[in-house]
Protein backbone atom coordinates (compact mmCIF):
# COMPACT_ATOMS: atom_id res chain seq x y z
CA UNK A 1 0.00 0.00 0.00
CA UNK A 2 2.85 2.35 0.88
CA UNK A 3 4.53 1.64 -2.44
CA UNK A 4 1.25 2.38 -4.24
CA UNK A 5 0.85 5.66 -2.37
CA UNK A 6 4.40 6.68 -3.21
CA UNK A 7 3.81 5.84 -6.86
CA UNK A 8 0.58 7.87 -6.86
CA UNK A 9 2.34 10.88 -5.31
CA UNK A 10 5.12 10.54 -7.83
CA UNK A 11 2.66 10.41 -10.71
CA UNK A 12 0.93 13.49 -9.32
CA UNK A 13 4.22 15.36 -9.15
CA UNK A 14 5.04 14.40 -12.72
CA UNK A 15 1.61 15.55 -13.88
CA UNK A 16 2.09 18.93 -12.17
CA UNK A 17 5.51 19.28 -13.80
CA UNK A 18 4.02 18.44 -17.20
CA UNK A 19 1.26 21.02 -16.69
CA UNK A 20 3.78 23.67 -15.69
CA UNK A 21 5.89 22.89 -18.75
CA UNK A 22 2.88 23.19 -21.04
CA UNK A 23 1.92 26.54 -19.50
CA UNK A 24 5.48 27.79 -19.84
CA UNK A 25 5.48 26.79 -23.51
CA UNK A 26 2.18 28.56 -24.11
CA UNK A 27 3.51 31.64 -22.35
CA UNK A 28 6.60 31.65 -24.55
CA UNK A 29 4.40 31.58 -27.62
CA UNK A 30 2.17 34.27 -26.12
CA UNK A 31 5.06 36.66 -25.51
CA UNK A 32 5.77 36.68 -29.24
CA UNK A 33 2.48 38.60 -29.50
CA UNK A 34 2.36 39.89 -25.96
CA UNK A 35 -0.19 42.65 -26.41
CA UNK A 36 -2.76 40.31 -27.93
CA UNK A 37 -2.04 37.56 -25.39
CA UNK A 38 -2.52 39.95 -22.46
CA UNK A 39 -5.78 41.17 -23.93
CA UNK A 40 -7.14 37.67 -24.50
CA UNK A 41 -6.20 36.50 -21.01
CA UNK A 42 -7.70 39.60 -19.43
CA UNK A 43 -10.97 39.07 -21.28
CA UNK A 44 -11.05 35.40 -20.27
CA UNK A 45 -10.44 36.27 -16.62
CA UNK A 46 -13.29 38.78 -16.64
CA UNK A 47 -15.66 36.34 -18.35
CA UNK A 48 -14.87 33.51 -15.92
CA UNK A 49 -15.16 35.89 -12.98
CA UNK A 50 -18.51 37.12 -14.26
CA UNK A 51 -19.91 33.58 -14.21
CA UNK A 52 -18.60 33.05 -10.67
CA UNK A 53 -20.11 36.35 -9.50
CA UNK A 54 -23.49 35.39 -10.96
CA UNK A 55 -23.56 32.27 -8.77
CA UNK A 56 -22.29 34.24 -5.75
CA UNK A 57 -25.09 36.78 -6.24
CA UNK A 58 -27.62 33.94 -6.40
CA UNK A 59 -26.33 32.55 -3.11
CA UNK A 60 -26.54 35.95 -1.41
CA UNK A 61 -30.08 36.50 -2.67
CA UNK A 62 -31.21 33.08 -1.49
CA UNK A 63 -29.73 33.66 1.95
CA UNK A 64 -31.23 37.13 2.18
CA UNK A 65 -34.65 35.77 1.27
CA UNK A 66 -34.47 32.98 3.80
CA UNK A 67 -34.16 30.30 1.13
CA UNK A 68 -33.19 26.76 1.92
CA UNK A 69 -30.49 25.06 -0.12
CA UNK A 70 -28.19 27.77 -1.46
CA UNK A 71 -26.84 25.83 -4.44
CA UNK A 72 -28.11 23.09 -6.66
CA UNK A 73 -25.95 20.12 -7.61
CA UNK A 74 -25.58 21.58 -11.11
CA UNK A 75 -24.34 24.90 -9.72
CA UNK A 76 -21.87 23.13 -7.44
CA UNK A 77 -20.51 21.22 -10.42
CA UNK A 78 -20.32 24.43 -12.43
CA UNK A 79 -18.33 26.08 -9.64
CA UNK A 80 -15.78 23.27 -9.67
CA UNK A 81 -15.24 23.88 -13.39
CA UNK A 82 -15.00 27.63 -12.84
CA UNK A 83 -12.33 27.11 -10.17
CA UNK A 84 -10.28 25.03 -12.60
CA UNK A 85 -10.64 27.68 -15.32
CA UNK A 86 -9.71 30.51 -12.99
CA UNK A 87 -6.63 28.75 -11.63
CA UNK A 88 -5.51 27.91 -15.17
CA UNK A 89 -5.93 31.52 -16.32
CA UNK A 90 -4.07 32.88 -13.29
CA UNK A 91 -1.21 30.42 -13.78
CA UNK A 92 -0.97 31.23 -17.48
CA UNK A 93 -1.00 34.96 -16.72
CA UNK A 94 1.85 34.47 -14.26
CA UNK A 95 3.91 32.53 -16.77
CA UNK A 96 3.21 35.08 -19.51
CA UNK A 97 4.14 38.11 -17.41
CA UNK A 98 7.10 36.77 -15.45
CA UNK A 99 8.73 33.80 -17.20
CA UNK A 100 11.97 34.72 -18.97
CA UNK A 101 12.40 37.63 -16.58
CA UNK A 102 15.78 39.25 -17.03
CA UNK A 103 18.33 39.78 -14.30
CA UNK A 104 18.79 36.49 -12.42
CA UNK A 105 18.63 37.21 -8.68
CA UNK A 106 16.93 40.54 -9.36
CA UNK A 107 14.42 39.62 -12.08
CA UNK A 108 13.20 42.32 -14.41
CA UNK A 109 10.32 42.62 -16.84
CA UNK A 110 10.71 40.24 -19.82
CA UNK A 111 11.81 42.13 -22.91
CA UNK A 112 8.81 41.02 -24.98
CA UNK A 113 6.44 42.30 -22.30
CA UNK A 114 8.31 45.60 -21.96
CA UNK A 115 8.07 46.12 -25.72
CA UNK A 116 4.36 45.29 -25.83
CA UNK A 117 3.36 48.93 -25.38
CA UNK A 118 4.64 49.66 -28.89
CA UNK A 119 2.35 47.01 -30.36
CA UNK A 120 -0.55 48.33 -28.31
CA UNK A 121 -0.26 51.84 -29.66
CA UNK A 122 2.22 53.40 -27.27
CA UNK A 123 0.69 55.95 -24.93
CA UNK A 124 -2.75 55.77 -26.54
CA UNK A 125 -3.79 52.86 -24.32
CA UNK A 126 -2.67 51.33 -21.02
CA UNK A 127 0.25 48.95 -21.27
CA UNK A 128 -1.11 45.43 -21.97
CA UNK A 129 0.52 44.05 -18.82
CA UNK A 130 -1.28 46.67 -16.74
CA UNK A 131 -4.58 45.69 -18.34
CA UNK A 132 -4.00 42.01 -17.56
CA UNK A 133 -3.01 42.70 -13.95
CA UNK A 134 -6.05 44.93 -13.47
CA UNK A 135 -8.27 42.16 -14.84
CA UNK A 136 -6.79 39.65 -12.39
CA UNK A 137 -7.05 42.01 -9.42
CA UNK A 138 -10.60 42.84 -10.44
CA UNK A 139 -11.47 39.18 -9.88
CA UNK A 140 -9.46 39.00 -6.66
CA UNK A 141 -11.53 41.58 -4.80
CA UNK A 142 -14.91 39.75 -5.02
CA UNK A 143 -13.18 36.56 -3.87
CA UNK A 144 -11.80 38.36 -0.82
CA UNK A 145 -15.19 39.91 -0.04
CA UNK A 146 -16.93 36.53 -0.02
CA UNK A 147 -14.07 35.01 1.94
CA UNK A 148 -14.37 37.73 4.58
CA UNK A 149 -18.14 37.21 4.81
CA UNK A 150 -17.87 33.44 5.02
CA UNK A 151 -16.07 33.21 8.35
CA UNK A 152 -14.86 29.63 8.06
CA UNK A 153 -14.62 28.99 4.29
CA UNK A 154 -14.91 25.22 4.78
CA UNK A 155 -18.44 25.27 6.19
CA UNK A 156 -21.66 27.21 5.74
CA UNK A 157 -23.56 28.42 2.69
CA UNK A 158 -20.62 30.31 1.20
CA UNK A 159 -18.24 27.36 1.34
CA UNK A 160 -19.00 26.07 -2.20
CA UNK A 161 -18.05 29.49 -3.60
CA UNK A 162 -14.51 29.31 -2.26
CA UNK A 163 -11.45 27.21 -3.03
CA UNK A 164 -7.96 27.32 -1.54
CA UNK A 165 -6.59 26.46 -4.99
CA UNK A 166 -7.95 29.75 -6.32
CA UNK A 167 -6.24 31.51 -3.44
CA UNK A 168 -2.99 29.79 -4.34
CA UNK A 169 -3.35 30.97 -7.93
CA UNK A 170 -3.86 34.59 -6.89
CA UNK A 171 -1.00 34.55 -4.38
CA UNK A 172 1.43 32.89 -6.79
CA UNK A 173 0.63 35.56 -9.36
CA UNK A 174 0.90 38.27 -6.70
CA UNK A 175 4.32 37.11 -5.51
CA UNK A 176 5.61 36.99 -9.08
CA UNK A 177 4.27 40.47 -9.84
CA UNK A 178 5.81 41.90 -6.68
CA UNK A 179 9.16 40.32 -7.50
CA UNK A 180 9.34 41.40 -11.14
CA UNK A 181 7.22 44.54 -11.54
CA UNK A 182 6.74 46.30 -8.23
CA UNK A 183 8.96 49.27 -7.40
CA UNK A 184 12.12 48.18 -9.27
CA UNK A 185 15.54 49.69 -8.63
CA UNK A 186 15.77 51.86 -11.74
CA UNK A 187 19.45 52.64 -11.18
CA UNK A 188 20.36 48.96 -11.53
CA UNK A 189 17.72 47.86 -14.04
CA UNK A 190 18.69 46.76 -17.52
CA UNK A 191 15.10 46.69 -18.77
CA UNK A 192 13.16 49.91 -18.31
CA UNK A 193 9.56 50.23 -19.48
CA UNK A 194 8.28 53.78 -18.90
CA UNK A 195 4.55 52.88 -18.76
CA UNK A 196 5.19 50.18 -16.16
CA UNK A 197 7.49 52.43 -14.14
CA UNK A 198 4.82 55.14 -14.19
CA UNK A 199 2.24 52.65 -12.96
CA UNK A 200 4.17 50.66 -10.34
CA UNK A 201 7.55 52.35 -9.90
CA UNK A 202 9.00 53.66 -6.67
CA UNK A 203 7.17 56.58 -5.07
CA UNK A 204 4.10 56.04 -7.27
CA UNK A 205 0.53 55.83 -6.00
CA UNK A 206 -0.07 52.81 -8.22
CA UNK A 207 2.91 50.96 -6.78
CA UNK A 208 1.74 51.65 -3.23
CA UNK A 209 -1.81 50.55 -4.10
CA UNK A 210 -0.61 47.32 -5.70
CA UNK A 211 1.58 46.58 -2.70
CA UNK A 212 -1.34 47.16 -0.32
CA UNK A 213 -3.68 44.97 -2.38
CA UNK A 214 -1.21 42.09 -2.47
CA UNK A 215 -0.42 42.37 1.24
CA UNK A 216 -4.11 42.40 2.17
CA UNK A 217 -4.79 39.37 -0.03
CA UNK A 218 -1.91 37.48 1.58
CA UNK A 219 -3.20 38.28 5.07
CA UNK A 220 -6.85 37.43 4.34
CA UNK A 221 -6.07 34.11 2.67
CA UNK A 222 -3.65 33.07 5.42
CA UNK A 223 -6.05 34.00 8.23
CA UNK A 224 -9.23 32.59 6.72
CA UNK A 225 -7.80 29.36 5.34
CA UNK A 226 -6.16 28.32 8.59
CA UNK A 227 -4.33 25.04 8.31
CA UNK A 228 -3.68 25.40 4.57
CA UNK A 229 0.10 25.31 4.72
CA UNK A 230 0.70 26.13 1.08
CA UNK A 231 -1.50 29.23 1.26
CA UNK A 232 0.38 30.39 4.35
CA UNK A 233 3.73 29.87 2.62
CA UNK A 234 2.57 31.69 -0.50
CA UNK A 235 1.27 34.56 1.63
CA UNK A 236 4.69 34.86 3.25
CA UNK A 237 6.22 34.78 -0.23
CA UNK A 238 4.07 37.71 -1.32
CA UNK A 239 5.14 39.74 1.71
CA UNK A 240 8.80 38.80 1.26
CA UNK A 241 8.83 39.71 -2.44
The per-residue pLDDT for range 148-159, each reduced to its tens digit, is: 888 889 988 888
The per-residue pLDDT for range 208-230, each reduced to its tens digit, is: 999 999 999 999 999 999 999 99
- pLDDT for residue 58: 83
The per-residue pLDDT for range 106-118, each reduced to its tens digit, is: 788 898 999 987 5
Mean per-residue pLDDT for 182-204?
Answer: 86
pTM comes to: 0.86
Report the percent of the chain where pLDDT is more than 90.
55
Domain count along the chain: 1
Mean per-residue pLDDT for 113-130?
Answer: 74
Bridge partners of 102? 108
Cα separation, 8 vs 227, whole angstroms? 23
Tell me which residue range forms the domain holding 107. Answer: 2-240
Cα separation, 101 vs 6, whole angstroms? 35
Mean per-residue pLDDT for 47-58?
Answer: 92
Report the percent of the chain where pLDDT is more than 70.
86
Cα separation values, 109 from 36, 40, 97, Å: 17, 20, 8
Instruction: Specify whether the CB–CB gap between 86 and 93 falls below 8 A.
Output: no
Mean per-residue pLDDT for 87-98?
Answer: 96
Mean per-residue pLDDT for 124-144?
Answer: 92
Would the pLDDT of 3 be above 50?
no
Would the pLDDT of 12 be above 60?
no
- pLDDT for residue 143: 95
Mean pLDDT lowest among 12-16, 19-23, 42-46, 100-104: 100-104
Cα separation, 137 vs 155, whole angstroms? 26
- pLDDT for residue 11: 54
CB atoms within 10 A of CB 60: 16
Cα separation, 55 vs 65, whole angstroms? 15
Dihedral angle of Cα 29, 16, 144, 182, to the nearest 10 degrees: -50
- pLDDT for residue 124: 59
Identify which of 14, 57, 16, 5 has the alpha carbon closest to the alpha carbon of residue 165.
16
Instruction: Specify whether the CB–CB gap between 150 and 223 falls below 8 A.
Output: no
Beta strands in the chain (DSSP E): none
Which residue would you say has higher pLDDT here, 35 or 120? 35
- pLDDT for residue 5: 37
Amino acid sequence: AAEGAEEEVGDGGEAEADDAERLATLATLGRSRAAEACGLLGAALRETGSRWRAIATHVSERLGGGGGEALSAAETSKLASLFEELVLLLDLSRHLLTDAAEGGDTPEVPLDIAAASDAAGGGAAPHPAIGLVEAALGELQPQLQVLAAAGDPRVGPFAPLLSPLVGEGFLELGAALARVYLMPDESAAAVLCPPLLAAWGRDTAGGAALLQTLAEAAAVYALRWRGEERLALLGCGVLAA
